[in-house]
Amino acid sequence: MRVISVVPTPNPDALKFTLDTELVSDGSRSFTSKSGAAKDPIAAKIFELEGVTSVFYMGDFVTVNKAFDVSWDVLEPQILDTVKLVVAPGAAPANGALHETAVMEVPANKPFDEMTPAQRILLIDRLMEDEIRPGLAGDGGGLEIVGLEDFVLQIHYEGACGSCPSSSAGTLSYIENLLRERVDGRLKLVPV
């Protein structure tokens, strides 16, 4: 295993480490605390480093966020060494995928407000998977759907997006407009 590239993200406190090994084949993993990452061998080891505030990974990359007062000059080489030690080729980390494929189908041409709550979430999640998550992943981040109540969709930004100023303004507005255009004009997006 080797790190192919280390790329800055739009968030100055996050770096994206692209590997030559796929870490997970489906979904993503997101951790915002050392205790929350305790059962994940990759995230737990990275959280042992001083100044790490979150770890997010999917596919072949890991995004690490740091405290604002910690220098990348010190932390980046430590992350590189840690990732090389804990990632074995073909290893599949613990914890289930956050975005598992559902068996349920979304009925074609059925109005949004006539769908079951599960069908609504599935429809929105598929749109996110096709249109939103690839772009966020390109910048070392992602998002998770937390819940949908009436027409208010709660999301949680992950990875580099978690503390990035642009995710709370431009990206949020873009996603909300896309959902209103493609799903239902009454939808409102709220980050949690």
pLDDT range class, residue 94, cuts 50, 70, 90: very low
pLDDT, one tens digit per residue, over 95-128 is 433 333 334 566 778 888 888 777 888 888 888 8
Domain endpoint, select from 33, 51, 86: 86
**pLDDT the model gives residue 157:** 86
**pLDDT the model gives residue 100:** 35
Please provide the size of the chain in residues.
192
Q: Helix, strand or coil for residue 108? A: coil
Indicate whether 57 and 20 sit together in one domain.
yes
**pLDDT the model gives residue 53:** 94
**pLDDT the model gives residue 119:** 81
**pLDDT the model gives residue 104:** 54
**pLDDT the model gives residue 1:** 63
Q: What percent of the chain has pLDDT over 70?
A: 86
Structural domain for 144, as ranges: 112-191
Whether the per-residue pLDDT at 67 is higher than 70: the answer is: yes
Residue 62 lies in a domain: yes
Give the CATH number for residue 77: 3.30.1370.70
Residue 98 lies in a domain: no
Q: What percent of the chain has pLDDT over 90?
A: 27
pLDDT range class, residue 25, cuts 50, 70, 90: confident
**Nearest alpha-carbon partner for 29 in 102, 130, 98:** 98
**pLDDT the model gives residue 90:** 45
Q: What span, in angstroms and rounded, lies between the C-alpha atoms of 2 and 81?
A: 10
**pLDDT the model gives residue 167:** 62
Q: What span, in angstroms and rounded, lies between the C-alpha atoms of 57 and 186?
A: 32
Angle, helices 117-127 vs 170-182, to 10°: value is 120
**pLDDT the model gives residue 22:** 85
Residue 91 lies in a domain: no
Tell me how many domains the chain contains. Answer: 2
